[in-house]
Amino acid sequence: MIRPETVLESWKTVRQDTAQAVEDFPAAELDFKPVEGMMTFREIVRHILEAGHAIVGMLLDGVENMATPQFRESLQKYMVELPATPDAAALATALRGNMELRSSQLAQRPADFYEQVVTRFDGQQVTRLEMIQFVKEHELTHRAQLFVYLRLKGVVPCTTRRRMAKQQKA
């Protein structure tokens, strides 16, 4: 059995590392993308923020079926207020603030909230907790993209820096 607290604490760690990646990336190069057809660094960060905020917002509002033709339109109700081209500080602050807000809101929900089944946008039936886990995994996937972009700019991601620091202490 996976406990909601464990999923939320894990997601907070992922989110902290995402925000750190934003702060570590060269501020003047947020619109960098390695090849045509990929999202820019800034677009990926915004996508992480908006997707997590919107899907959790839908869960908190009691939406049970996300597999509707108007799913994308319904996400608009949950968009995060950001400037059109937010700078690194605004993005990192929004990532951290949003995680605090959503984790606090989720922590106030009773255990049976997490057990209720919802229909994901792809039609799959999952519990609300499984949907939150999916959102965290979505962020992990895009965080990996951010880490590749960091590497392409010669920046070592924070997770590697922590591992290296532990190895040096040992």
Instruction: Find the CATH number of the domain harbouring 77.
Output: 1.20.120.450
pLDDT at 21: 98
pLDDT at 134: 97
How far apart, in whole angstroms, are the C-alpha atoms of residue 54 and residue 77? 8
Tens digit of pLDDT per residue, the chain (170 long)?
789 999 999 999 999 999 999 999 999 999 999 999 999 999 999 999 999 999 999 999 999 999 999 999 999 999 888 988 999 999 999 999 999 999 999 999 999 999 999 999 999 999 999 999 999 999 999 999 999 999 999 999 999 999 999 889 87
For residue 101, give every residue at least 6 positions away whose Cβ sits within 8 Å of its Cβ, in sequence order, or none: none
How far apart, in whole angstroms, are the C-alpha atoms of residue 136 and residue 163? 22
Outline where DSSP puts E strands in 39-146. 117-119, 125-127
pLDDT at 46: 97
- Using the 8-state DSSP alphabet, how is residue 39 labeled? P
- Using the 8-state DSSP alphabet, how is residue 170 labeled? -
pLDDT at 84: 87
Q: What does pTM read for this prediction? A: 0.94
How far apart, in whole angstroms, are the C-alpha atoms of residue 43 and residue 118? 28
pLDDT at 140: 97
Task: Show the domain range for 104.
Answer: 4-169
Q: How many domains, the chain? A: 1
Helix (H) or strand (E) holding 31: none
